Amino acid sequence: MTTVIIDYESGNLHSAEKAFRRMADEVGAGEVRVTSDPDVVRGADRIVLPGDGAFPACRKELFDHRGLFEAASEAVRDGGRPFFGICIGMQMLATRGMEYTETPGFDWIGGTVEAIAPDDRKLKVPHMGWNDLVIDHPHPVFEGISTGHHAYFVHSYHFRVDDPAERLAHVDYGGQITAIVGRDTIVGTQFHPEKSQSTGLKVIANFLRWTP
Residue 127 is a catalytic residue: no
Q: Out of 17, 58, 87, 99, pick the active-site residue.
A: 87
DSSP letter at 128 equals E
192-197 long-range contacts (CB < 8 A, ≥24 apart) are 192/15, 192/16, 192/86, 192/87, 192/151, 192/152, 192/153, 192/154, 193/19, 193/86, 193/151, 194/15, 194/16, 194/18, 194/19, 194/20, 194/86, 195/15, 195/152, 196/150, 196/151, 196/152, 197/152
- Cα(159)–Cα(188) distance, integer angstroms: 10
- The residues with which 182 forms a beta bridge, in sequence order, are 187
- Cα(184)–Cα(81) distance, integer angstroms: 10
- Cα(150)–Cα(131) distance, integer angstroms: 5
Instruction: Specify the pairing of strand 46-49 against strand 83-86.
Output: parallel
Q: Out of 17, 99, 166, 194, pick the active-site residue.
A: 194
Residue 102 is a catalytic residue: no
Residue 194 is a catalytic residue: yes
* Residues 193, 86 contacting (CB under 8 angstroms): yes
- Residues serving a catalytic function are 87, 192, 194
